[in-house]
């Protein structure tokens, strides 16, 4: 492929993973933020919503999840009969850790009957006491689907403020959570990038702060941004999300130019998943992520409601 070199995956590693996956009747799922070599051995690469949908529809007995803990939990909520293995047991999500069920329960008591919309980037026990979940791909549509004017949206404040801007008829009450990878971007850097590349379209994930989103032409989930970059007649882009999306963007459009901020946008947890972890997960079928049945059944209602709402 001219213009973009694919990451090298040793052929013996690729073959070993394919053989083990077939023996184990396993499907390997990877989030876009994982390393390019993980994309290359995965059966399916997607955003949070796409991965949940793929987990739910896959006939595989085993799911090897290359992503972070809440994603494997969501797969466990949706697929209780499958063995869900998180390739790297240390891959957590700091934003998901910014909310715990006790704190949400206390806020719900204060807000007396206000529905709770929870981003999937949250613990299963928090989903279990939420009314509905969303991902960045359907947050606006899920918000619009709710009855009543006031909604508590947790845990990502930046996503909640973005949704509030698009759904002004609601009063969105926020939670003070954020994604460190996206939240650390600062406006002066983006303004300088825009000045340096005036012809470039700015693509941003809604986990960025409102001032950054105010400069973006396209705000969407990772799959939405990747699709836009492939379909746009534009030739140059400033990409404001985790750098893992650059692999599919460059692979889809080797002749287009993708600029990134000097502040590195790298999720250290997503990057923990290695090819060695995938091999080990397939060999040992561990570490398993299994949501306890009581929590699972309670969380399933909120997750299924989310799955019924199409992408924005």
Q: With binding defined as CB under 6 A, does residue 32 bind ligand SF4?
A: no
Pick from 222, 253, 273, 295 the residue near ligand 13P by CB under 6 A.
222
Residue found under tokens 């806020």? 107
Shortest Å, Cβ 58 to ligand 13P: 18
Shortest Å, Cβ 48 to ligand 13P: 4
CA distances from 139 to 2, 200, 275, 280 (A): 37, 26, 32, 35
Give Cβ neighbours of residue 6 (< 8 Å, ≥ 6 apart). Answer: 36, 40, 251
Is the backbone of residue 123 left (phi > 0), alpha (psi -120 to 50) or beta?
beta
Shortest Å, Cβ 284 to ligand 13P: 25
Segment contacting ligand SF4 (CB under 6 A): 130-138, 173-181, 255-263, 271-279? 173-181
Q: With binding defined as CB under 6 A, does residue 121 bind ligand 13P?
A: yes
Residue found under tokens 């699709």? 227
Q: How far apart are CA 312 and CA 302, in angstroms?
A: 18
Residues of span 221-260 touching ligand SF4 by CB under 6 A = 242
Residues of span 118-157 touching ligand SF4 by CB under 6 A = 121
Residue found under tokens 């009969």? 81
Total site size for ligand 13P, rule CB under 6 A: 10
Shortest Å, Cβ 222 to ligand 13P: 4
Give Cβ neighbours of residue 141 (< 8 Å, ≥ 6 apart). Answer: 309, 310, 311, 312
Helix, strand, coil distribution of the chain in percent, nearest 5: 45, 15, 40
Q: With binding defined as CB under 6 A, does residue 312 bind ligand 13P?
A: no
Q: With binding defined as CB under 6 A, does residue 135 bind ligand 13P?
A: yes
Q: With binding defined as CB under 6 A, does residue 282 bind ligand SF4?
A: no
Let me know: does 223 contact 137? Beta carbons within 8 Å.
yes
Q: String of b and e for 148-174 (b: at least 16 CB within 10 Å)?
A: eeebbbbbbbbbbbbbbeebeebebbb
Segment contacting ligand SF4 (CB under 6 A): 50-58, 93-101, 210-218, 249-257? 93-101
Pick from 179, 185, 190, 291 the residue near ligand SF4 by CB under 6 A.
179
Site map 163..182 versus ligand 13P, x via CB under 6 A:
----------------x---
Shortest Å, Cβ 157 to ligand SF4: 12
Let me know: does 152 contact 117? Beta carbons within 8 Å.
yes
Beta pairing class for 62-66 and 44-46:
unpaired
CB nearer to ligand 13P: pick between 216 and 282? 216
Query: What residue 94 binds from ligand SF4, ligand 13P, none (CB within 5 to 8 A, per partner kind)?
Result: ligand SF4
Q: Please give the backbone phi and psi of residue 202, each rounded to the nearest 5 degrees, phi first.
A: -95, 120
Segment contacting ligand SF4 (CB under 6 A): 13-21, 137-145, 262-270, 274-282? 262-270
Residues lying near ligand SF4 in the complex (CB under 6 A): 33, 68, 93-95, 121, 179-181, 242, 267, 269-270
């Amino acid at each position: 492929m001219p213009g973009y070199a694919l990451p090298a995956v040793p052929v013996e590693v690729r073959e070993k993973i394919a053989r083990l996956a077939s023996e184990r009747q396993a499907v390997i799922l990877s989030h876009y933020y994982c390393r390019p070599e993980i994309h290359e051995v995965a059966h399916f690469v997607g955003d949070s919503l796409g991965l949940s949908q793929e987990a739910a529809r896959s006939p595989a007995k085993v799911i090897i999840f290359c992503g972070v803990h809440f994603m494997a939990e969501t797969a466990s909520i949706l697929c209780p009969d499958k063995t869900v293995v998180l390739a790297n047991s240390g891959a957590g999500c700091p934003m998901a850790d910014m909310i715990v069920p006790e704190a949400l329960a206390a806020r719900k008591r204060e807000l007396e009957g206000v529905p709770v919309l929870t981003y999937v980037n949250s613990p299963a026990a928090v989903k279990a006491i939420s009314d509905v979940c969303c991902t960045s791909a359907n947050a606006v549509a899920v918000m619009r689907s709710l009855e009543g004017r006031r909604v508590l949206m947790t845990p990502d404040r930046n996503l909640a403020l973005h949704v509030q801007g698009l759904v002004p008829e609601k009063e969105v009450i926020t939670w003070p959570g954020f994604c460190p990878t996206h939240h650390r971007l600062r406006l002066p850097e983006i303004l300088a990038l825009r000045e340096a590349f005036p012809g470039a379209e700015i693509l941003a994930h809604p986990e960025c702060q409102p001032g950054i989103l105010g400069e973006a032409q396209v705000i969407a989930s990772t799959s939405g941004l990747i699709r836009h970059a492939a379909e746009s007649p534009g030739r140059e882009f400033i990409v404001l999300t985790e750098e893992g999306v650059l692999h599919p963007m460059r692979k889809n459009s080797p002749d287009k130019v993708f600029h990134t901020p000097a502040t590195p946008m790298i999720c250290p947890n997503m990057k923990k998943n290695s090819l060695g972890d995938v091999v080990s997960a397939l060999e040992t079928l561990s570490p398993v992520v299994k949501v306890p049945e009581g929590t699972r059944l309670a969380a399933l209602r909120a997750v299924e409601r989310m799955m019924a709402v199409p992408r924005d």
